[in-house]
Amino acid sequence: MPGWLDRVGNLYGTTPSGGNQNGDCYGSCGVVFRLTRNGSSWVFAPLYYFEGGTDGSDPMAVVTVGPDGAVYGTTAMGGDGCTTDYGCGTIFKLTPPARFCQRILCPWTETVLYRFADSPVGATNPFGGVIFDAQGNFYGTTLGGGTGVAGTVYKMTPSGGGWTLSTIYNFQGGVDGAVPITELKFDRAGNLYGTTLYGGTTANGNVFRLVRSGSGWSEQSIYSFLGGVNGYAPQGGVVLDSAGNVYGGTVGGGTQFGGVAYELTPNNDGSWTYSILANFNGSINASLAIDAAGNLYGTTYAGGSHDDGEVFELTYANGSWTTTTVHSFGGPEGALPIGSVLIGSDGTLYGTATLGGMRGQGTAWEITP
């Protein structure tokens, strides 16, 4: 899935399988790639092929271009940091060639910054990507491990030329939530927001906030999903607008049983108001995207006019939200998108589909306004 659009318009992303035929995953350890525009077409360049050993395997998350120009991300498996057959995952950094490379296919150098281990309190299996703060630290989640064995939020701090990992919150699997599998988001005050797939008051998942508390962090569950028409299982993360409202989607529930797009509005007393913006017949498996005008964009896995998924837009006017289908999949452009939408400076939308294309293995697509 593409996860980053840099300043010059290059797209970066991952595939959880495929790649190097010499790896321990029988050629299916995953790839980090870059797409560069060349006239009216795009050039695909694999930056790194995972081999499934200590370097990691199965990158399930988006990647982030850090302040140093390197690409940072996670692998859900591999790393050889624990006793399971498939590994507990890694945090990696990809560095471009030190000298100018005249070839299109110039491999980048991987550095494993951290290998997760399955000790009693160790975090395991990072399915989400990472996010940097202004000081150069970055943060992410693991779906397992921690003192509650329900996942963690971690912080990576530069230290003596390397990096040090610290766990800033351990989910306990109750009201606080369980199994965070996506990237986090900052608000203007430096608080972190995310979702858990399970847990909450009814075990249907929640939206949480981590607030700095002295030298540490405290967790607040700002909303627990109720299931049914209310929605359940927020597999994607959240986005925030300039007013501090929080938006996201679920993989199930709603009046059409495929999931909902929702808004959480902060109240003066510290509570939050939950509103359903739209109901879908296909699940929202990733975070929504927001443009400068406050319009929201996302994808559904299945649904749409061909039941192969769609790209949708949510616009707000006169006190209500309107849903528009931007594109329904069902042809050579791909099918069954599960990733987020990226928005270019000119309003062009980018994303991926898991199936379709010339070889049936998925596509990267763009939609021009």
Q: What pLDDT score was predicted for residue 102?
A: 57
Q: In this predicted model, what pLDDT tens digit does every residue of 70-125 receive, in sequence order?
A: 999 999 999 987 877 788 999 999 998 877 665 556 779 999 999 998 766 688 99
* Rounded CA separation 125/221 (Å): 22
Question: Number of folded domains in the chain?
Answer: 1
Q: Token digits for 204?
A: 């249907």
Is residue 229 helix, strand or coil? helix
Checking phi first, is residue 253 left (phi over 0); if not, alpha (psi -120 to 50) or beta? Answer: left
Interval 263-285 mean pLDDT: 97
Q: Token digits for 182?
A: 């996506």
Cβ count near 158 (within 10 Å): 13
Q: What pLDDT score was predicted for residue 138?
A: 98
Query: Pick from 298, 205, 187, 297: which is nearest to 246 by CA?
Result: 187
Q: In this predicted model, what pLDDT tens digit does every residue of 43-82 receive, in sequence order?
A: 999 999 999 889 999 999 999 999 999 999 999 999 987 8
Residue 321 lies in a domain: no
Interval 210-219 mean pLDDT: 92
Q: DSSP label at 215?
A: T
Residue 135 lies in a domain: yes
Q: In this model, does residue 253 exceed pLDDT 90?
A: yes
Could you tell me if 205 and 177 are in contact, meaning their C-beta atoms sit under 8 angstroms apart?
A: yes
* Rounded CA separation 259/252 (Å): 4
Could you tell me if 197 and 181 are in contact, meaning their C-beta atoms sit under 8 angstroms apart?
A: yes
What amino acid occupies position 68? D
Q: Give the model's confidence band at 40: pLDDT under 50 very low, under 70 low, under 90 confident, else very high.
A: confident
Q: In this model, does residue 27 exceed pLDDT 60?
A: no
Residue 203 CB contacts under 8 Å (≥ 6 apart), including other chains: none
Q: What pLDDT score was predicted for residue 25?
A: 62
Q: In this model, does residue 246 exceed pLDDT 70?
A: yes
Q: Give the model's confidence band at 18: pLDDT under 50 very low, under 70 low, under 90 confident, else very high.
A: confident
Residue with tokens 């699940």: 283
Residue 131 lies in a domain: yes
Q: What pLDDT score was predicted for residue 257?
A: 94
Residue 100 lies in a domain: yes
Q: In this model, does residue 188 exceed pLDDT 60?
A: yes
Q: In this model, does residue 270 exceed pLDDT 70?
A: yes
Residue 185 lies in a domain: no
Residue 97 lies in a domain: yes
Q: In this predicted model, what pLDDT tens digit does every residue of 280-325 receive, in sequence order?
A: 999 999 999 999 999 999 999 999 999 999 999 999 999 999 999 9
* Rounded CA separation 220/350 (Å): 33
Interval 161-170 mean pLDDT: 95
Q: What is the dihedral of CA 139, 250, 261, 228, to 10 degrees?
A: -140
Domain range holding 94? 1-170
Q: Token digits for 146?
A: 């921690």
Residue with tokens 């749409």: 304
Could you tell me if 286 and 299 are in contact, meaning their C-beta atoms sit under 8 angstroms apart?
A: yes
Question: Checking DSSP bridges between strand 152-159 and strand 162-170, what pairing results, if any?
Answer: antiparallel
Interval 328-332 mean pLDDT: 90
Residue 199 lies in a domain: no
Residue with tokens 């010499």: 22
Q: What pLDDT score was predicted for residue 2?
A: 57
Residue 141 lies in a domain: yes
Sign of CA dihedral 225, 230, 234, 236: negative
Q: What pLDDT score was predicted for residue 55?
A: 93
Q: What is the DSSP string of 262-276?
A: EEEEE-TTS-EEEEE
